[in-house]
Structure formats: structure tokens, C-alpha cells
């Protein structure tokens, strides 16, 4: 009777250790997935910020309509250009008059504003070094009088984005290292509870793969369980953010969410398998006389 109670108690402890391990992996996957989602959103937000930076090409007064159209075609076909918008001098005057609340052309008796193109570059090209190159290139085009953009703002955006991305990368890397250390310890403790079984199998001549295989299969199964829990928590988080803070869920309906979920699945299975193999191999290689000293 006492022996049956001991066996039942042992089975309960082993089961609890696997439950704790699964929950630990799920929490880590959820945390890493959330950080990955944050990084995706941060990258997307910085790309949108870069792509909203406007460069204005002021055209020379008297430029023919054919040449204006040719400049527009050149800009549209340029590899760095994402969007091109033409504003005639008449429309520019109307917009400016609406802003100041007065028709300045009546006072001046002429319209001093030029025809212009508003250009927005792709995010990969929207940096201060390339913008200077782009400015030099288009300034040499016939019909372009001046290229105007806010140089100080461009430099400030670039510096702030680089600093933010560096901090985010360091934070994500530090979190990953800490999570892996904690999970390694959790899985090793789970395998530790079965060290006597591993030692017995080794003493009767079982091969290393024969001993490792059942632990590996179980760890993959628990990794899958952990992913299901983490995925449910992650999707609940995304839905909650979309409901409460829609302005920060830029990717809530796009493919990167599936990339994050896929990454969580791969990471969960990989972590479970690798750490389990390492822990089992440690006890397989351990001298039987030292199994009680570990």
C-alpha cells in the first residue's frame, strides 16, 4: 500500500514538473512573441515615418507642359520614388490663400508660386545620405529650379530611429538570453526528476538514442501544447490592443502576425527539443555512482 502511494506521489510530481515546464515555455513564447510583434510594429512605424517625408521639386517658371510631364514620368519611374504628386502654381496659390485667409495674388497682381512636384521615397531610400544624392541628381534635370526639404528634420528622424532600433534590438536580445537560461533550468529540473529511470535504462544496456527518444517526443508534444497556450494569449493580446489602442496595432490584419506565430511555434519546438536532448545526455553520460550527488 505504501509502495503504491509512493509510486502515485512520484507520478504526480513528474506530471506537475511537466505542467510547470509547459507553462514556463508558454509564458516565454508569449513574451518573445509580444516583443517580436512590438519590433514588427516599430519597424513598420519607422518605415511609414520615412515614407511620409516629403521632398519638393520647384520647377523653373516658363517650363513647357511637355517638359513638366517628362519630369513627372522620370520621377514615377525612379527606383527610389514611392509617390509623386504634381501641384500647379494655380492650385498652390489657392491652397496658400486658404491657409492665410487672404488672396495674396490680388495684392501682388501676379502669382509668385511655381509649379512643383511633391515626392515621397521608399523607406529604404529615405535617409539623409541618399536624399542628398537624390537632391543632387534631380537638381541637374532641365526645368528643376530648386529641391526643397527639411534637412534638419531628416537628420533628426534618422538619428532617433537608429537609436530606437538599437535599444529595441538590445532589449529583445537580452530578453531572449534570459528566457533561454530560465527555460534551460526548468527543463533540466524536469529531466532531473527522471534521472533514476535514465540510469536504470543505461545499466540494462539501452542505447543513448533509445533513452533520449521518448523524452524528445514528449518534449515536442509539450512544446506544441506550450505554443497553443502562447498563441491563444498572443492573439488575445492583439485583439485587446486592436480594441483599446488601434493606433498601435499597425500590423493587426497583416501577414507579420502569422510570421510571429510561426516563429513562436518553431522556437517552442526547438527549445523543447534541444534543451531536452542536452539534459538527457548529461544524465546518460553521468557516472552511475554520482547520480545521487547531482
Which pLDDT tens digit goes with each residue over 134-144?
999 999 999 99
CB 211 within 8 A of CB 198: yes
Quote the percentage of the chain above a pLDDT of 90: 16
Query: At 205, is the pLDDT very low, low, confident or very high (cuts 50, 70, 90)?
Result: confident
For the cut 60, the answer to whether the pLDDT of residue 23 exceeds it is: yes
Burial class, 101, CB count within 10 angstroms (exposed 0-12 / middle 13-18 / buried 19+): exposed
Identify the band that residue 47 occupies on the pLDDT scale cut at 50, 70 and 90.
Answer: confident
pLDDT beyond 70 at 146: yes
Mean pLDDT score of the chain, rounded to an integer? 79
| pLDDT value at residue 32 | 84
With 90 as the cut, is the pLDDT of residue 5 above it?
A: no
Q: Which residues in 60-168 belong to E strands, given as ranges?
A: 81-87, 116-121, 144-148
In which order are the strands placed within the sheet that holds 144-148?
Answer: 81-87, 116-121, 54-59, 144-148
The predicted-structure confidence for 246-255, as pLDDT tens digits, reads as follows 555 554 456 6
Beta bridge partners of residue 147, listed in sequence order: 57
3-state secondary structure of 55: strand
Angle among Cα 79, 85, 89 to the nearest 5 degrees reads 135
Measure the CA–CA gap between 230 and 232, rounded to whole angstroms.
Answer: 5
Q: For the ranges 26-30, 88-92, 238-242, which has the lowest average pLDDT?
A: 238-242
Instruction: For residue 96, give the C-alpha cell.
Output: 496658400
Q: If you average pLDDT over residues 217-240, what whole number do you get? A: 87
The enclosing H or E element of 70 equals helix 65-77
Q: Give the confidence band of 2 by pLDDT, cuts at 50, 70, 90.
A: very low
Which three cell numbers, joined as nine digits, stand for 60? Answer: 523653373
Contact indicator for 145, 60 with CB cutoff of 8 Å = yes
Residue 119 has pLDDT above 90, yes or no: yes
- pLDDT (0 to 100) of residue 152: 77
Which has the minimum average pLDDT: 38-47, 105-114, 134-143, 236-245? 105-114
Check residue 67 and give its pLDDT.
92
CA dihedral angle for residue 243, residue 249, residue 254, residue 255, rounded to 10 degrees: -120
Residue 165 has what pLDDT? Answer: 74
Highest mean pLDDT pick, 61-75, 152-166, 184-198: 61-75
**Per-residue pLDDT at 122 exceeds 80:** yes
Amino acid at each position: 500500500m505504501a509502495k503504491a502511494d509512493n509510486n502515485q506521489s512520484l507520478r504526480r510530481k513528474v506530471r506537475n514538473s511537466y505542467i510547470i515546464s509547459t507553462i514556463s515555455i508558454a509564458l516565454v513564447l508569449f513574451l518573445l512573441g509580444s516583443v517580436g510583434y512590438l519590433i514588427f510594429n516599430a519597424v513598420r512605424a519607422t518605415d511609414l515615418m520615412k515614407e511620409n517625408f516629403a521632398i519638393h521639386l520647384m520647377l523653373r517658371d516658363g517650363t513647357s507642359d511637355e517638359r513638366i510631364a517628362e519630369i513627372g514620368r522620370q520621377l514615377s519611374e525612379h527606383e527610389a520614388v514611392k509617390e509623386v504628386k504634381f501641384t500647379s502654381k494655380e492650385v498652390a496659390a489657392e491652397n496658400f490663400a486658404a491657409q492665410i485667409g487672404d488672396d495674396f495674388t490680388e495684392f501682388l497682381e501676379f502669382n509668385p508660386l511655381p509649379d512643383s512636384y511633391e515626392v515621397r521615397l521608399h523607406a529604404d531610400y529615405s535617409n539623409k545620405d541618399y536624399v542628398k544624392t537624390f537632391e543632387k541628381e534631380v537638381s541637374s534635370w532641365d526645368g528643376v529650379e530648386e529641391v526643397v526639404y527639411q534637412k534638419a528634420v531628416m537628420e533628426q528622424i534618422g538619428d532617433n530611429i537608429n537609436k530606437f532600433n538599437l535599444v529595441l534590438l538590445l532589449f529583445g536580445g537580452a530578453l531572449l538570453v534570459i528566457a533561454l537560461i530560465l527555460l534551460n533550468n526548468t527543463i533540466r529540473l524536469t529531466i532531473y526528476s527522471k534521472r533514476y529511470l535514465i540510469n536504470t535504462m543505461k545499466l540494462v544496456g539501452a542505447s543513448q538514442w533509445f533513452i533520449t527518444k521518448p523524452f524528445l517526443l514528449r518534449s515536442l508534444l509539450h512544446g506544441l501544447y506550450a505554443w497553443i497556450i502562447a498563441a491563444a494569449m498572443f492573439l488575445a493580446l492583439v485583439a485587446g490592443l486592436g480594441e483599446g489602442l488601434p493606433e498601435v496595432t499597425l500590423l493587426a490584419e497583416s501577414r507579420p502576425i502569422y510570421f510571429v506565430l510561426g516563429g513562436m511555434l518553431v522556437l517552442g519546438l526547438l527549445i523543447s527539443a534541444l534543451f531536452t536532448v542536452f539534459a538527457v545526455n548529461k544524465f546518460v553520460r553521468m557516472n552511475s555512482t554520482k547520480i545521487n550527488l547531482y
